[in-house]
Structure 1
């Protein structure tokens, strides 16, 4: 009899607790949203404005009789440029002629005193000039990082100017 009373009391307590718990519940849904906007990032940089993407460094040279070739490297670290754009997003990458250009010819300069002609290309064979408009590189995003290499060449047969550091700045624009 004691056992029956104990079971009966335990059952009553559980029933009261269950009804008390369900009486104090409130349920609802939480929506989780994510909007993916169209766009691209280069080397992980997606900021608007002017960014430093990389460098084409021809190194130290003492003679310009032959072609001198170089490839782009990522700014601030080893490796090449990487461009990530939304899957199926059509975009174009263009390069202007640089701040020292003359009549469409790219040139590095030693402070405006001397110049050395060079060119930038889309391909390793250095046969497709990389520029603006019809010379821009048309691509389609994959959603993953895509290697983006700029192939540079100092044009052969130029007179070798005075020693010093020669620089130019070329603006890269990614448009979609």
Structure 2
């Protein structure tokens, strides 16, 4: 190395040019957020079909079902309205003006009427949307007294999930 190069190198080292450079740093934080909204879906999965009966059959039982999917751990209630009668205590299927009374129940023993108020709806808790829907069986009973007119009897019930 010649004398000029040595002098320049010495000056640079003495001036700190070869020393490591440090920069100041500062930090800040931010949040990452999401809100999962409560949600439910309800589907009438099986109609209540009493089939073909004789007017003298007496009490006839049948079942149907509604299926519900709700956000995990979300409490919900399933209610069934009164159908065309608009009265859960006096449901009826009609064929023209002829009627057959029936009732919908929450359990196989058919003692707890399934209605549309807080006192007679069915309560459950959501299990999430990943798996199968929760199936709620609708137990039904029609009463034939032997005086019914032949015909096709129908009614339409609305199932509602409240969460």
TM-score under structure 2 normalisation?
0.69
Asked if residue 131 in structure 1 is aligned to residue 115 in structure 2, the reply is yes
Distance in 2 (CA, whole Å) between partners of 1:103 and 1:124 is 18
Work out the number of aligned pairs and report it: 128
Residue ranges of structure 2 left out of the alignment (5+ in a row)? 1-32
Asked if residue 174 in structure 1 is aligned to residue 161 in structure 2, the reply is yes
Evaluate the alpha carbon distance shift between residue 62 and residue 93 of structure 1 in structure 2; reply closer, same or farther with a 3 A threshold. same
Distance in 2 (CA, whole Å) between partners of 1:119 and 1:93 is 16
Structure 1 residue 85 displacement after superposition: 0.9
3-state SS of paired residue (1:56) = coil
Q: For the Cα contact (< 8 Å) 1:89–1:140, is it kept in 2?
A: yes
Q: For the Cα contact (< 8 Å) 1:119–1:152, is it kept in 2?
A: yes
Structure 1 residue 101 displacement after superposition: 5.1
RMSD value, Cα = 2.4
Asked if residue 94 in structure 1 is aligned to residue 79 in structure 2, the reply is yes
Runs (4+) of structure 1 moved beyond 2 Å?
A: 33-37, 63-66, 100-104
Residue ranges of structure 1 left out of the alignment (5+ in a row)? 1-32, 44-51, 73-79
Asked if residue 161 in structure 1 is aligned to residue 153 in structure 2, the reply is no
Asked if residue 152 in structure 1 is aligned to residue 140 in structure 2, the reply is yes
Distance in 2 (CA, whole Å) between partners of 1:104 and 1:98 is 11
Structure 1 residue 54 displacement after superposition: 4.1
Evaluate the alpha carbon distance shift between residue 161 and residue 66 of structure 1 in structure 2; reply closer, same or farther with a 3 A threshold. closer
- Give runs of aligned pairs for residues 41-120 of structure 1, distance below 5 A: 41-43=41-43, 54-72=46-64, 80-100=65-85, 104-111=89-96, 113-120=97-104
1:27 corresponding residue in structure 2: none
In terms of fraction of residues, the more strand-rich structure is 2
In terms of fraction of residues, the more helix-rich structure is 1
1:121 corresponding residue in structure 2: 105
Distance in 2 (CA, whole Å) between partners of 1:105 and 1:83 is 26
TM-score under structure 1 normalisation?
0.64
Larger radius of gyration: 2
Distance in 2 (CA, whole Å) between partners of 1:114 and 1:102 is 17
